Amino acid sequence: MALTNPPRSAYNRYATKQLTRYLKQNICPQAPNILGNDLQGQCIDLLKENQADIQKIITKNTKQSNFLFLSLYKTELSVHELLPSEIRQFVSPQLLPAYTFETVGVFQSFHTYKAQRL
C-alpha cells in the first residue's frame, strides 16, 4: 500500500495546478483596469509564465508526513511571497493574507481537506 502513495513531485504539480486555478478564478478577476491597462489579463499571463516559480514556492513551504496507507502534505503560503519581486518590495507582508492547506495523498491521487486563511 505504501507504494501507492503519490510522490512529493506529484503533490507539487497538483498544488501548483490547484493554486493557479484558484488565483485565475478568484484573484485575477479582482484586478482593476487602470488607465487602460488590463491588469486582469496581465495577472493571468503572470501565472502562466511563472509556473516553475509557483512550484518552487509550494515546494519550499510544504511539509510531508508519510504513513503506511497515505501521505499528508501541509502547505503554508503567504500571498506576499507569490507577488513578483518588483511589486513585493512595495507591499508589507502584514497587509496580505496567508493560508494553510492540508492534503492527503493516497492511491496516486490527492484530496485537499483543509484550506484556511490565517
Better-scored residue on pLDDT, 32 or 76: 76
Cα 75 from Cα 61, distance rounded (Å): 6
Stated as kind and residue range, the H or E segment containing 100 is strand 98-106
Query: What residues make up the domain containing 78?
Result: 2-117
Tens digit of each residue's pLDDT (9 = 90 or more) over 12-60: 999 999 989 988 888 888 776 655 667 778 888 888 988 999 999 999 9
CB 49 within 8 A of CB 96: no
Of 111, 33, 20, nearest in space to 70 by CA: 111
Total-model pTM: 0.81
Task: Give the burial class of 96: count Cβ atoms within 10 A of its Cβ; 0-12 exposed, 13-18 middle, 19 or more buried.
Answer: middle
Number of structural domains found in the chain: 1
